[in-house]
Structure 1
Amino acid sequence: MKNFKELGVSKDLVKGLKDLKIIEPTQIQAEVISVLMNTNTDLIGQAQTGTGKTAAFGLPLLHRINPKVEKVQGLILCPTRELGLQISKQLFKFTKYTDKVFTEAVYGGAPIEKQISALRRPTHIIVATPGRLIDLVKRKAVDLTHVKTIVLDEADEMLSMGFKPQLDEILAYLTAVENKWLFSATMPQGIMQMIKKHFSPGAHKIEVSGRNVVNKNIKHQFVLCDDVEKLSVLMQFLKSDTKARGVVFCKTKDAVQKLSKQLQAQNVKADAIHGDLKQIERNKVMRAFKNEKLRVLVATDLAARGIDIDDLAFVVHYQLPDKEEYYTHRSGRTARAGKEGISLAIVNSKEMKSIRYFQKALNIGFSQIRGKR
């Protein structure tokens, strides 16, 4: 496989990557960069989170920015504040040795005035959640007429959060764009419609093939038990390695709150994140988890969007999700950057048919672990 220099990435960017210990391109990086480095084109990439997508689209995007032109030239849309901040941080780190490229992240749930004044400074790339971007355009706080490249990251997540109308509106508005790049872990109907409507028929399609998509460093396991035994099975699992940290998923915020209290009562350093938390409370919990003051995060699928924490040893499905893409997204929180991880489902006999379904649909092997009887 070619290295970044051979893929055409400038030596100053390669130097920035080296500082981040990014030396060998991942599969998605190698395939995407070799297409995007030399041509203006539409591209559809299917890849999981944790495969290095930010560099895959970020490096070709940075190559297209003219730092001397103080206009917004690139736009990245993503589902959550967390992911937006993460992308803008990475772009900043990539450009450590290059001419300054200014990136600004804008998202809902934060004061818009502050973002408007930040955008008055020279800005080359905007990373935005779709709703907030539309608000800013309506207030004439942002000029997108010079945007040549638009990236949709985690498009399926944006769709499942109800952003399809906003995405359609933004894509329809940006008529002069030369490059539209879309990345998604799954390709539901809504995404296919969007591609048909807004992307050129000759768009490049790159898929990090199904077998590689569900990360091969994840061990998929399940324990079969009655509902009343789920808590003791989880406790047994947490006691088996008291240093391991991870996320436990439930389907509803009530279940999340209840389980997090039950774990706290058993002296597990745990806390909950769900949709009802104010941003400030959510930040507090996330900070405690990042600083390793918490060992377990109990979360709903929606609340966990955009979480990127290294060294998660496990993901537990305390309640299985309804959709296979949720299973993929949940599991993808562990085993990042080449490490290994466990995805453990604690299931009752009714949920067993979901396990069989996921096994087939996602082409993964589950091993059954015996809970204590």
Structure 2
Amino acid sequence: MDTKESENSKKDFSSLEIDEKYCEKLSSHGITEPSSVQSQAIPEIIKGTSLLFQSETGTGKTLAYLLPLLQNVESCDNTKKEVKIVIISPTIELASQIKSQVQMVTDSKAALLVGGAPIKRQVETLKEKPLIVIGGPARLLELFHLKKLRLDGAAAVVLDEVDRLLAKEMQEDTLELISALKKDIQLIAASATITQSTQKTLQATRIKQNGTTESDLKTLFLPPEDVLRKRITHLALYSETRDKIDTLRSLLNAEKPQKALIFTSKIDQVANIVVKLKFKNIECYALTAKTDKVERKATIDKFRSGKIKILVTSDLAARGLDIPDISHVIQMDMPSDDDFFIHRAGRTARMGKTGVNIVIGDGYEMRKYAAIEKKLKITVYPRMLYKGKLIDPNEVNKENSSQSQ
């Protein structure tokens, strides 16, 4: 067989030994070709390997572990109805998104067990004998201690965004939860960034849990796909601080984004931006860490489905958001942490698509943007609003020059 033909024939999920029923579900959602992380992680997880893997944001990590784990447990005799897969998430939004992906590929019952929601209702949900439970470490542990969540039949545990789960504020609950699971359970951990500290902690936990001298946790670190440089167009739009919301309004009218996520570091500014945009007849919604849990979920679901096209948010509220088809990310300021800049920009250009990241900044913020441009080796293009369009300033200079001649 010709090498190119051989490579092309591998570009589907069935070549990774994923059952046809899952392939059909994926295909119905327009997902036909596995990403790099899926191609490499799925065969390992199907074999039962415990795996720690790192891949850039937006590369399909959730399906990389969901598909093989679901296939493994659903192909077994499940006459005894019990929890088989435990997925631990650091945020409510991520947990909710994982559940949505589960429901996309299987009809098996999945329970969302997160803090901030009535625990009595979650106890009732557990009586329905879900195959998969998804939630934060604190709530999962609470239900376990109350003996409402039985974990003795679990075949696999997943730590999604493992770096955050092993950060100081969540580490104790996460590790206690893992220790409550049976010896040699299949452990999957994934994140866009994995520190040496995270690796050491997980390897030590695995050795202690299995009572061995060496860890069986395999690591998989995928080379960066350079999403930030190759698939995202970075633009800079100058504006004095007092004029930023007016500049944003003009930008939205000029670009007419398919779906835009607007970031501000100042939580109190979220509502202010929304009010002023709505006053100018631009339909938009707010999302902050203070937003009511039910309202947050409803807002995210509407944004995901496309019923909401413009969402204004803070960094913490949007952490881990995986929303398809975000065409524009607009940053109303430069975050203090470079990782937040990467996180913000990475909400667009997901799963092989392209996107636009625009910073609206004053002189100080433009200098910070220039510093990040150099550090991250991205190219930032200056833009200005002119006659209702977002254009290159050089074009305006050329036009003015030709008119003066």
What TM bracket, shorter-length normalisation?
0.7 to 0.9
The equivalent residue for 2:329 is 315
> Can you list the C-alpha shifts for 1:185-228, whole angstroms capped at 9, x where unaligned?
12246534533432465533323322435473221222244323
**Matching residue's letter, 1:269:** E
Query: How do 1:305-344 residues align onto structure 2 when only pairs under 5 Å count?
Result: 305-344=319-358
The equivalent residue for 2:59 is 51
> Can you list the C-alpha shifts for 1:84-137, whole angstroms capped at 9, x where unaligned?
2332232233235xxxx4322211111111111111222222111212101111
**Matching residue's letter, 1:329:** H
How far residue 164 of structure 1 moved from its aligned partner, in angstroms, is 2.5
Query: How do 1:48-127 residues align onto structure 2 when only pairs under 5 Å count?
Result: 48-65=56-73, 66=76, 67-95=78-106, 101-127=108-134
The equivalent residue for 1:5 is 14
Is 2:46 aligned against 1:37?
yes
The equivalent residue for 2:232 is 218
Cα pair 2:257 2:327 within 8 Å, conserved: no
How far residue 33 of structure 1 moved from its aligned partner, in angstroms, is 0.9
How far residue 31 of structure 1 moved from its aligned partner, in angstroms, is 0.9
Cα pair 1:315 1:333 within 8 Å, conserved: yes
**Given the two structures, how large is their TM-score scaled by the length of structure 1?**
0.87
> Can you list the C-alpha shifts for 1:6-35, whole angstroms capped at 9, x where unaligned?
212223333333333322111111011122
Aligned CA-pair RMSD: 2.7
The equivalent residue for 2:191 is 184
Among 296, 307, 310, the alignment partner of 1:296 is 310
Cα pair 1:186 1:325 within 8 Å, conserved: no
Task: Tell me: CA distance 1:230–1:137, structure 2 relative to 1, closer, same or farther (3 Å).
Answer: same
Q: Distance in 2 between matches of 1:350 and 1:72?
A: 53
Cα pair 1:154 1:184 within 8 Å, conserved: yes
> Can you list the C-alpha shifts for 1:10-61, whole angstroms capped at 9, x where unaligned?
23333333333322111111011122222x3332221234322222101111
Of residues 11-20 and 187-196 in structure 1, the stretch that sits farther from structure 2 once superposed is: 187-196
Among 204, 214, 223, the alignment partner of 1:209 is 223
Task: Tell me: CA distance 1:294–1:10, structure 2 relative to 1, closer, same or farther (3 Å).
Answer: closer
**Matching residue's letter, 1:334:** T
How far residue 278 of structure 1 moved from its aligned partner, in angstroms, is 1.3
The equivalent residue for 1:28 is 37
Task: Tell me: CA distance 1:322–1:207, structure 2 relative to 1, closer, same or farther (3 Å).
Answer: farther
Task: Tell me: CA distance 1:240–1:7, structure 2 relative to 1, closer, same or farther (3 Å).
Answer: same
Percent of aligned pairs with the same residue?
Answer: 29
How many residues matched?
A: 368
Of residues 195-204 and 304-313 in structure 1, the stretch that sits farther from structure 2 once superposed is: 195-204
Task: Tell me: CA distance 1:265–1:138, structure 2 relative to 1, closer, same or farther (3 Å).
Answer: same
How far residue 292 of structure 1 moved from its aligned partner, in angstroms, is 4.7
Task: Tell me: CA distance 1:159–1:305, structure 2 relative to 1, closer, same or farther (3 Å).
Answer: farther
Cα pair 1:77 1:129 within 8 Å, conserved: yes
The equivalent residue for 1:154 is 161
Cα pair 2:56 2:225 within 8 Å, conserved: no
SS of the counterpart of 1:18? helix
Task: Tell me: CA distance 1:288–1:29, structure 2 relative to 1, closer, same or farther (3 Å).
Answer: closer
How far residue 246 of structure 1 moved from its aligned partner, in angstroms, is 0.7
How far residue 342 of structure 1 moved from its aligned partner, in angstroms, is 0.7
Structure 2: any 5+ residue segments left out of the alignment? 1-6, 208-214, 387-392, 394-405
The equivalent residue for 1:195 is 202
Query: How do 1:136-285 residues align onto structure 2 when only pairs under 5 Å count?
Result: 136-158=143-165, 162-188=169-195, 191-199=198-206, 201=215, 203-214=217-228, 216-285=230-299
**Matching residue's letter, 1:248:** I
**Matching residue's letter, 1:60:** P
How far residue 158 of structure 1 moved from its aligned partner, in angstroms, is 4.2
**Matching residue's letter, 2:91:** T
Cα pair 1:225 1:371 within 8 Å, conserved: no
How far residue 365 of structure 1 moved from its aligned partner, in angstroms, is 2.7
Structure 1: any 5+ residue segments left out of the alignment? none
Task: Tell me: CA distance 1:215–1:80, structure 2 relative to 1, closer, same or farther (3 Å).
Answer: farther
Q: Which has the higher helix share?
A: 2
Q: Distance in 2 between matches of 1:208 and 1:121?
A: 38
How far residue 306 of structure 1 moved from its aligned partner, in angstroms, is 4.4
**Given the two structures, how large is their TM-score scaled by the length of structure 2?**
0.81
Bigger radius of gyration: 2
